[in-house]
Structure 1
Amino acid sequence: MYIDEEHVGSGNESDGNVEEELQGQGTQESLRIQEDMAVFVANRNFHRYRTGQYRQRLDGRTWKHCICRLNKNWQPLIPALIDAYTTWKYSPPPHIVTYTDPDASPLVDGRDFDINILDIHDLARVAVIPCGEDDEGAVTLVRAGYLGCTPQRPSLAISLRTLKLFYTIRMFRPSFSIEAFTKVVCHVHSVTYRRGYRSAISDAFDTYIIIRRHLDSRVAHELGQDTQNYRVLNSCPPCNYELKDEPPLKFSRMFVLDGNNSLKRMQGAGNRQVADDRVYQDSDYFLPEEYVNQFGNEVPRGHTQTEDKDTEEPGLEQGGDPTDGQTSMSETSPLQKCTSNWKAAAGDAAKKMWDGFHETGIFASTCRHGFIIWLTDMIRSGELAKYLLAITAKALEVFGENMLIGYDIGCSFSETIAKTSLNEAFQKKKCRTCVNAFHGYSHNALCQQSFHPTHIKGMGLEDLETLERIFSQSNQLAAVTRYMSRYHRKVFIDLFFQQWDSDKYANLGTMLFNNYIQALHILETEAAELAHDLEQFNLTESDLEAMWVDQAGHFKELGKERAEEVNGVAYVELLQQLRDIEAALERSHTAFRIQEPEDFEQLPPLSSYSLGLSKTHKTETRRRFLGEKQDNVLWEILQMESQMDVQRRWTPLDSEYKAALKYMTERKYLQALENLHLLVIKWLFEMHKLNMLGTGYKMRTHIAQALQRRAKAIRNAVNEYNKHALMLYPPRGTLDWTKVTHFSFIDQFDILRDTRHNVFHEKWAQPLYRELMNRVHKVSRAREEIHRVNIELRCLHTRIVDEEKLFASTLEHLGGSLMLGPVLEYVTRRREVNKLLISRINATYNLPGFTGTPYPGESINPMHEPDTSLPTSPGHNAGSSNVPHSTPDDRQPQFEDDNSEDEGPLEDDNEFVDDMGKVVDFIAGL
């Protein structure tokens, strides 16, 4: 049959209109016309496709509009989806008919429908979903064990078992992307990978995460764990669980701050809009951006030498860095020297990331046991002071007193806090800052004496380098989050740190056990040798502490001039100035005498009078000026004499005058010598630290890099010294830089004996006494660690016992409710972890050198008070406890746990984690 092409039209819309018109005809002729029309349209479209003339119908909707509609349609279904998910997971699942052949025609009865599925555990391609009268399609799918890609009329569904597997893999391998997982699923089903499958799994996984997150919130609500700041105040029992009659600690809480620029996110190109503009607000890890920005003006922004004020890019985050609050710090301050390298490195890093990234990383805080406290996003900036101040302000608001905050430049950050509004609360709660142990070795010797963890009483063996270990793991996220939307980036970061805290809790007992072993080993090996050496040299620990204090005082005076020398120089300079003024004033008086010069020439009377009058005025003006200047200098001399208590004015023949004059001559030389002395002392002490027994490879490398930077400063100081040494009369000996680099003892620097602050006669400068001082600090920190771990172990044990009471009562209260299944799963997993922790606590209690209390205590704020009025249901043992509960009357408790018979290495209990890692590696290898 001939069909008029003009009547059909040239676009898909015309084709559709013709088809609708023909569909209204019910005759046999209309059916034949409809068939011919379909063939014609197919042939025409195929021809246009081959010739490049095919045009699709324009769609005015943007991708952003589609994403917003999709998320909006999912929201009202979430509560029902959670119930359906709980029913599917914790109740007998319905029988679902599946087919492996997608072209097969499944038998569908009533409202049942068939849908294409992806299931990594099954090769089925189609499933028949039973549907009730009033059920939503998306809810019915979840109840049957599948999750649609869209809330309405989905064409593909992903099995919940598949999404759960990917969720589990993501927990242990954060770098495993959705694209890689989709390729694995396609490979299992012998299907060619297409991006549409990846988008389908990604969309379904987004909804799956929302369901899991809301279900976890319901579980937390049933257990009473959804109060404000609950995670921060309860995630780490050793830090947060307070007991009655607990021995005091110098620092009730130690946590560390640091930034990491690996978890950056690319910003859009030009004016390109982001399709997914959702804001993730369900995480209690991230501090709100509005809260952080409150502290943006606490410290004014300063410019370092690496920044160009004229080329500052608009739109960057404003606010000072952690060192800009030190307005009173001089350029020669020891803390200023500590922060100069840090600011230079921060400036170089900023230049590399501000151009292409919106979030330039995260700023994190964690306790000494590795539990995350809070996170903040760094927005187009480096480590600004507002990030530290925001976390510090939150800590002052939530936590108690006696906190210790560690930071890479904690020495200067303490002065920054003093300039802000947080100083009053910071001082009232008796808090202080320090530097991390590893990074602290790049600070100068004076800073280390006050801020390094090894030298701070009450810190134990803690190095506060926890965040470096955390960042080394979280860097795996960078590969998959860098190009994500802002919403997805936060979701995956939140998931990672949830699993991190879970792993840290499971490893908590092992950590405390290892800390106890380390402290006992130090006391067994170092304490006895230290006592023997002290007895041999007739010293006490108090004597060594006094040497340490004297050393600190000596370092404070290095490079400084004494007040009497500075005043003497100023006084002599004033006397010399007065003598010069008096001589000039005497010459101006003689100018009034009339003398006829040899080249006298007779001038006209008018010219002779005018010239003489002008000379007279100039001479008189100079005489008055010199007289006033003489009075001013004389007044300053009188003030100096009063200040220095000079009874008789110095003359050039006096010894004080000669000494000051000599110092003025050698001042430049002595200043260069003092500066060289300061650098050499630090160099040699760091060299001693570099060669200490037990210093790890990475720490040696870090110290060596710091020494290389100081070597440049020493080389410049040597050149400055040689210049001024040659200017003296007679000239002093010079130094050869090539020989200086091989000096390893102070005695080899003979020129340093000329300094006013020489250390050749000081005991603490000798290697033997320095080694004794370091050993005293090491033994003292080990004793403090024993004391702290004794308290932390008991807190952990008490928390486990109280938590078991909470679990028992909660499970009994839930009975047969819908939430019994999710709560019971959480409780079961937690109980298994608690059994492992109890085995570690038991192993620590049984150590030969254990000095703590081997039973749980009583909490100040218990988690749960058991209600004995409610009888236990017959035959219901869901709330029974498998965790041992010792009482103070037992004194020698017997721990019954799964690991009580195995006293082998602690690493043997990680077989399950290793097996899971093998599974993940296998899937990643596909």
Structure 2
Amino acid sequence: PSDYLRSRCPLCFGGVNKVGESKLPEFFLCLDACFALRRNKDYDCRPGQKKQPGTQDPRIVPPGTRELPRSFLEAWKARVEAAQPVKGHERRTKHASKQGEYAVDVADGEGDCVEPGLRVPNSYLDNCGESFIAADGERVKTPGQHFSDTGMMAGVCRHDRVIVWSNMWTPGEQQFYALAIIDFVMAQLPVHWRVGILYDVGCQIHRSTLKWNLLPQWMPRIVFGISVFHAYGHQWVCQLWYHPRKGNIWGLTDGEGCERLWSDLRSLIPNLRVTGFHRRLFLLDLQIEHQDRLKLCQAGVWLEKRVRATKARLALAEAKRDKIQYTDEYLQAQFEAQRAYQSRPLERQSKKKGFHAVEKILAVRQRLNAAQDLVEVLQKQLMSVPLSDSIASRNEVAEITTSIAEQEKIVSRLSKQDNDLTAKLEKMRGHAWFEHQLNMRALKARIIAKACEKNFETRNLTGAFRSKAVDHNTMEHTTKALKRRYRSVKSLVADYNKRRLNMMKLRGRGGISKNAIIPPPIDMKGLFGLDVNNDIWQDIGLADDEFDGTVPPWLGDEDVRNGIRLMQEVVNCRDELYLCDRESYSLQQWFEDESAALMAA
């Protein structure tokens, strides 16, 4: 590593790693942006100036600055904009990703597919982008007409030490900031070093870099992932491939070092709003340097605590893992089978559209039945009413009959959208079991969506310390909204669990096997955490019809599902211990080099 990087974190760059000594990356970079550390627009309020933009304060640059030059960022901004397709040539997705205008485009008429170099189909990546456009409330809190500098983006190592940071002046968290930081860091690393990058929208930046060939010289050495505490906003298929706990290269790295950095810098928020341009950058650099010095003094303590906590976690996971009879090879094969099946693009897309059509047809048929009942009632009334009233009633019957004919046309049109739709409808029409399956799928999707929304709102509320503009009324309004959201989710969960009990009563009846898998109940406790290992992400007992009566072990066998989780936990803990051992060696070597230089001075 360069001298610049060695001075930033001795645990990451203090030693020399051997080429190919481990499957783990040699360095982990965590990225995030903060819009609370912004600066108001300043105006020259002297008489006759008419609020023209004020002049900048004198430039102050500390010797050990970590800030990326504005010219470097501007160059990357121009590079990304030049890589965009010509307007009108391709259709943009309905909602862009977190990077706004730098979202990946999808051509008209293309079906769902997996783009080269990716593992997740486009449909799921599009949904992830939509989730984070809704979640990122900060994006609308930094309008350019009020703020000259809208925030900062930082790249930190897994020890929460800032490697480099950039000032932000655009209203949104545009992609060129992250790409500039990645390019700057990669250029100072040895050519054989691999880098794991964790970002709250890591799937989106991975997609963009491949789509537009933005980092061609670095991509063979980069692995992208998503931050642990932001994973709940991603689609389950995306989590299967990008969540650090589902991979085998991350150890226990969580990617949330930037969030801890924002907490360390929050005391600067009021002053930074009204300070000068250069003074703000100087204060940020100075405070970051101060925090890094404190963390350097605690580097050994950090390692000792990390090793102790990881060993305790490993012992607990191994004790539970030993109780499961399956081998690691079998469990890994089952996990790969789960990934392969749940990442299928075309089949899952057509199935999803088919079930949407089923839901529409069921709703239309309910309206048809109600209309037909009304016609029968009106026809009986015609026999005992005066002629004048009879004419009005006959007109009403004619209107309803016309409406029924139109509804039947809708059913016919929807049925043609899927060849298997008629069979599914006939299968469900006379069987409560399959009706419960369909309804429970829809309920679970709504529960997950509402739980994600509640987490996004909770994030905004708990982050209210970042902004003095969040007054008591706003916080009270958000708190009330969270309570309403909780009651709504609680009602949906109660309905889901009630239908589950009804399914239990149907086992062994009407052609349903006595051993048919029942979906696990949803417990309100721990639901809003949306942990990656929560059963709510799985369609256990709700997808039996897809496997011709043979449910794969990764879905239907509880021991296999628990074994996969425990196997991954054991692997991650062992990898974490390896990382700590490597970092201990780096710290020791760095200390020896510093001591030798001091003695020679």
TM-score, normalised to structure 2, is 0.63
Counterpart CA distance in 2 for 1:675 and 1:425 is: 49
Counterpart-to-counterpart distance in 1, 2:523 and 2:299: 46
In 2, the alpha carbon distance for the partners of 1:276 and 1:505 equals 34
User: What is the letter of the counterpart of residue 291 of structure 2?
Assistant: W
Alignment of 1:735-750 (within 5 A): none
Unaligned runs of 5+ in 2: 44-49, 113-120, 354-417, 452-461, 463-481, 497-520, 528-534
Q: Distance in 2 between matches of 1:550 and 1:426?
A: 30
* Alignment deviations for residues 339-379 of structure 1 (CA, whole Å, 9 cap, x no partner): 21211233663255434111111011101111111111110
1:334–1:444 CA contact under 8 A, matched in 2: yes
Equivalent in 429, 438, 444 of residue 680 of structure 1: 444
1:230, CA displacement in angstroms?
3.3
Equivalent pairs counted in the alignment come to: 440
Residues 1:296 and 2:88 aligned together: no
Residue 774 of structure 1 deviates from its aligned partner by 1.2
- Greater gyration radius: 1
Structural mapping, 1:794-873, within 5 Å: 794-810=585-601
The residue number in structure 2 matching 1:345 is 135
Alignment of 1:713-792 (within 5 A): 752=542, 755-756=545-546, 761-765=551-555, 766-792=557-583
Letter aligned with residue 324 of structure 1: A
CA-to-aligned-CA distance 1:72-130 (integer Å, 9 cap, x gap): xxxxxxxxxxxxxxxxxxxxxxxxxxxxxxxxxxxxxxxxxxxxxxxxxxxxxxxxxxx
Letter in 2 for 1:680: K
Cα shift at 1:709? 13
Alignment partner, residue 104 of structure 2: 325
Residue 29 of structure 2 is matched in structure 1 by 255
Distance 1:557 1:671 in 2: 25
| Counterpart residue type for residue 397 of structure 1 | A
What is the CA–CA distance in structure 2 between the aligned matches of 1:685 and 1:547, rounded to whole Å?
28
Deviation at residue 802 of structure 1 after TM alignment: 1.5
Output the CA distance in 2 between the equivalents of 1:354 and 1:783.
47
Please list every run of 5 or more consecutive structure 1 residues that lacks an aligned counterpart in the other structure.
1-227, 308-318, 567-657, 688-697, 699-703, 719-739, 811-926
Alpha-carbon separation, structure 2, partners of 1:447 and 1:510: 35
Residue 406 of structure 1 corresponds to 198
SS in 2 for 1:398: coil
Q: Aligned to 2:336, which of 534, 538, 549?
A: 549
In 1, the alpha carbon distance for the partners of 2:352 and 2:443 equals 23
Aligned to 1:780, the other structure's residue is in SS state helix
User: Equivalences for 1:79-118 in 2 at 5 Å?
Assistant: none
Equivalents in 2 of 1:741, 1:769: separation in Å? 20
Match of 1:372 in 2: 162
Q: Given the alignment, which residue of 519, 522, 528 partners 2:319?
A: 528
Kept in 2, the 8 Å contact 1:323–1:339? The answer is: no
Name the SS of the counterpart of 1:458 in structure 2.
coil
- Are residues 399 and 758 of structure 1, via their aligned partners in 2, closer, same or farther at CA, if it must alter by over 3 Å? farther
1:395 to 147, 172, 185: 185
Is the CA contact (8 Å cut-off) linking 2:17 and 2:26 kept in structure 1?
A: no
Change in 2 beyond 3 A, CA 1:754/1:777: closer
In the alignment, the residues of structure 2 paired with residue 552 and residue 709 of structure 1 have an alpha-carbon distance, to the nearest angstrom, of 34
Counterpart amino acid of 1:407? Y
Q: Which one-letter code corresponds to 2:206 in the other structure?
A: S
Cα deviations by residue, 1:247-296 (Å, 9 ceiling, x for unpaired):
43520100101000111100024643435433344453111111111122
Deviation at 1:468, TM superposition (A): 0.7
CA offset digits 1:569-604 (Å, max 9, x no partner): xxxxxxxxxxxxxxxxxxxxxxxxxxxxxxxxxxxx
Using the size of structure 1 for normalisation, the TM-score is: 0.42
For the residue of structure 1 that corresponds to 2:212, the secondary structure is coil
* Identical columns (%): 20
Amino acid aligned to 1:278: P
1:711, 1:759 → 2: CA distance? 32
Task: Give the superposition deviation at 1:751.
Answer: 9.1
Q: Does 1:419 align with 2:199?
A: no
Q: Which amino acid aligns with 2:246?
A: H
Query: In structure 2, what is the Cα distance between the partners aligned to 1:449 and 1:542?
Result: 18
Cα deviation, 1:188-243, whole Å, max 9, x if unaligned, reads: xxxxxxxxxxxxxxxxxxxxxxxxxxxxxxxxxxxxxxxx9633333212211333
Q: Which residue of 1 aligns with 2:530?
A: none
| Counterpart Cα distance in 2 of 1:559 and 1:742 | 33
The answer to whether the Cα contact below 8 Å between 2:59 and 2:279 also exists between their aligned partners in 1 is no
Query: Deviations 1:523-573 (Å, cap 9, x if unpaired)?
Result: 322213312x12xxx31111111221222223224883699999xxxxxxx
1:395 Cα shift?
A: 1.9
Residues 326 and 412, structure 1, Cα contact 8 Å, conserved in 2: no
1:403 deviates by 0.4
1:383 corresponds to which of 156, 173, 190: 173
Give 3-state SS (helix, strand or coil) of 2:167's partner: strand
Q: Is 2:27–2:194's contact at 8 Å kept on the other side of the alignment? A: yes
Q: Is the 8 A contact 2:131 2:233 kept in 1?
A: no
The answer to whether the Cα contact below 8 Å between 1:255 and 1:368 also exists between their aligned partners in 2 is yes
Match of 2:238 in 1: 447
User: Residue 475 of structure 1 is aligned with which of 248, 255, 266?
Assistant: 266
Change (3 A) 1:681 1:503: same
User: How far apart, CA to CA, are the structure 2 residues paired with 1:432 and 1:245?
Assistant: 19
Label 1:661 to 1:752 Cα distance change in 2 as closer, same or farther (>3 A). Answer: closer
- In 1, distance between residues paired with 2:59 and 2:593? 37
Alpha-carbon spacing, 1:326–1:521, altered in 2? closer, same or farther (3 Å):
farther
Q: How does 1:5-404 map to 2 (within 5 A)?
A: 230-243=3-16, 247-269=21-43, 271-282=51-62, 284-297=65-78, 298-299=80-81, 300=84, 321=100, 324-325=103-104, 327=106, 333-346=123-136, 349-351=139-141, 353-400=143-190, 401-404=193-196
| Cα distance, 1:753 vs structure 2 | 5.8
